[in-house]
Structure 1
Amino acid sequence: MTSPAPRLSAVVFDWAGTIIDFGSCAPMGAFVKLFDQFGIALTIEDARGPMGVAKWDHIKALGMLPHVAAQWRERHGKDFGDADVDHLYEIFTPMNAAIVADFAAFIPGAVQVVDTLRARGLKIGSTTGYNRPIMDIVTPIAAAGGYVPDNLVCAGDLAAGRPSPLMMYRSFADLGVWPPSTVVKVDDTGVGIEEGLNAGTWTVGLAVSGNAVGLSLAEWQALDAGRQQELRTAAGASLRAAGAHYVIDSVADLLPVISDIETRLAEGARP
């Protein structure tokens, strides 16, 4: 007797740039302001580079940028080190927490897509590069709008964050789902895609709504079609380079992808 073909069991979503905060804008100004307090000039483009990793790791990566490290050495008379990262991180968390509520609007279609996935019997997981204090502000806002995932794994909960698979492993355990080939990871960053790949799941990259384009919804909609396509193409290329199995504009476009993955699973394909 042959066993039935496996079916998808869960979709694990990132938060900023994926479900909320079109353009993943909340942390950007905070990073620039943080380094400015220490006399260091940082651009928004600099700040976006490591997006998706835990915020402590993000701060360290910014401090290690050659032009930032040189400024730090000149300004503070020593190399940028882990003790400096600790100090900046202590300042960053309340700074980011103070503004995150202003960037907690849902990406269009997000709640409806999640509701449809639930109706199809899928569990809804979530991982994030935000820490618990920041998510303590975000989750009640999301819940009030109708989004309550079945779990939440934050940066700092485990020994390592993205691109390690540990947050995904915790999600498997929280949700009671396996094997990894029945799970889909949806994320707007390269390290978030790598997180899914390292855990053995299908991965879907979000090109337009996330960090790679980095524009608010209003800013995106104000662009002409030609410029939109340029940005879409560049963002999609970076997500594919990270290994994404699929790349779409935003979570609103996810349902056909889920159907395609289910078909491929039934035909014997695996991530």
Structure 2
Amino acid sequence: MNNAPQIQAVIFDWAGTIVDFGSFAPTSIFVEAFKQGFDFSISLEEARVPMGLGKWDHIKAVGKLDSVDQRWNQCFGRSMNDDDVDRIYEMFMPLQKAKVSDHAEPILNAIDVVDALKDKGIKIGSCSGYPREVMDVLIPVAADYGYKPDCIVATDDLPQGGRPAPFMALKNVIELGVTNVAACIKVDDAVPGIDEGHNAGMWTVGLLLSGNEAGLTFEEYQAADETTLSVAREKARKVMQKATPHYLIDTISDLPQVIEDIERRLAAGERP
């Protein structure tokens, strides 16, 4: 009997999925970059809306939010343009590089879950909305915590661009030697990352409580009663369901049960 796993690879997002509970490293820096670049204030909630996109595209998307665009027009008499995005991005990059290592601690049980997958012979891929120069800061710090994926793709590694297109996920497929995208799982805490997985032909798993949409700190998560968690879970679910992930779970701690179910479905001949 062949006991080899049906699943060949799991491809993880970084912030809000494996590291940085609540995805605070990028969102707080967006707020600061707008302030430094133009003395313009955005809220943490506004900064979170386009999460999952590459960071330049994220800044542009924040500028297109009705609430932000209205205030920007009040301040500057016009909507934000690409030169403005460039200026904010120039502010964002050194701030992000300086702060990202402060948010590199793995989310609860992430290392145990990843190591168990490796023990089953499953490859560990990863991709991020962070550009390569930020990833080059984050990667060694995460490695010191014990997180060492087999492949890492940054949002600017490919000329085709990042999410929601499938290119970063498919770059993982190529680098990991995966022979069937239907034997891959994409795990993410934001809609563009789930769309990326769908577009790549993979199973998709959305995370509700550790990521961007719930926006809880780890301390808030630990202290929360079930009513508080339920409200946060449903808030995130309303957003994440727009991408129709195959599974929605609270955190990576719940992934092993999903792995078992997908392996059962693959054995039965199902595809994503």
Same fold (TM over 0.5): yes
Tell me, yes or no, if the aligned pair for 1:131 and 1:156 is still in contact at 8 Å.
yes
- Quote the Cα distance in structure 1 between the aligned partners of 2:255 and 2:169: 19
Shift of 1:77: 4.0
- Quote the Cα distance in structure 1 between the aligned partners of 2:146 and 2:5: 29
Tell me, yes or no, if the aligned pair for 1:127 and 1:153 is still in contact at 8 Å.
yes
Tell me, yes or no, if the aligned pair for 1:5 and 1:266 is still in contact at 8 Å.
no
- Quote the Cα distance in structure 1 between the aligned partners of 2:81 and 2:114: 41
- Quote the Cα distance in structure 2 between the aligned partners of 1:69 and 1:260: 44
1:172-183 correspondence runs (5 A) = 172-183=173-184
> Which residue of 1 is the match for residue 155 of structure 2?
155
Shift of 1:6: 8.5
The one-letter code sitting in structure 2 at the alignment partner of 1:102 is D
Tell me, yes or no, if the aligned pair for 1:153 and 1:170 is still in contact at 8 Å.
yes
Structure 1 SS opposite 2:127 = strand
Tell me, yes or no, if the aligned pair for 1:151 and 1:171 is still in contact at 8 Å.
yes
Tell me, yes or no, if the aligned pair for 1:9 and 1:123 is still in contact at 8 Å.
yes
- Quote the Cα distance in structure 2 between the aligned partners of 1:212 and 1:125: 23
Tell me the alpha carbon deviations over residues 45-77 of structure 1, each in whole angstroms, 9 at most, x when there is no partner: 100000011000000011112232233333334
More divergent stretch after superposition (32-41 vs 110-119): 32-41
Tell me, yes or no, if structure 1 residue 29 matches structure 2 residue 28: yes
Please provide the CA RMSD for this pair.
1.6
> Which residue of 2 is the match for residue 90 of structure 1?
90
Tell me, yes or no, if the aligned pair for 1:207 and 1:213 is still in contact at 8 Å.
yes
Identity %: 49
Tell me the alpha carbon deviations over residues 109-142 of structure 1, each in whole angstroms, 9 at most, x when there is no partner: 0001110000101000000001111111110011
Unaligned runs of 5+ in 2: none
Tell me the alpha carbon deviations over residues 169-220 of structure 1, each in whole angstroms, 9 at most, x when there is no partner: 1111111102110000000111111100010000011101000101111012
In structure 2, relative to structure 1, the CA distance for the partners of 1:39 and 1:147 (3 Å cut) is same
> Which residue of 1 is the match for residue 195 of structure 2?
194
> Which residue of 1 is the match for residue 50 of structure 2?
50
Tell me, yes or no, if the aligned pair for 1:6 and 1:266 is still in contact at 8 Å.
no
- Quote the Cα distance in structure 1 between the aligned partners of 2:50 and 2:179: 30
Unaligned runs of 5+ in 1: none
The one-letter code sitting in structure 1 at the alignment partner of 2:173 is F
Structure 2 SS opposite 1:154 = coil
Tell me, yes or no, if structure 1 residue 18 matches structure 2 residue 20: no
Between the two proteins, the alignment pairs up a number of residues equal to: 268
- Quote the Cα distance in structure 2 between the aligned partners of 1:148 and 1:247: 25
More divergent stretch after superposition (125-134 vs 74-83): 74-83
TM-score by length of 1: 0.95
- Quote the Cα distance in structure 1 between the aligned partners of 2:231 and 2:245: 19
Structure 2 SS opposite 1:153 = coil
More divergent stretch after superposition (115-124 vs 232-241): 232-241
> Which residue of 2 is the match for residue 8 of structure 1?
7
- Quote the Cα distance in structure 2 between the aligned partners of 1:7 and 1:224: 38
The one-letter code sitting in structure 1 at the alignment partner of 2:23 is S
- Quote the Cα distance in structure 2 between the aligned partners of 1:172 and 1:191: 18
Tell me, yes or no, if structure 1 residue 254 matches structure 2 residue 255: yes
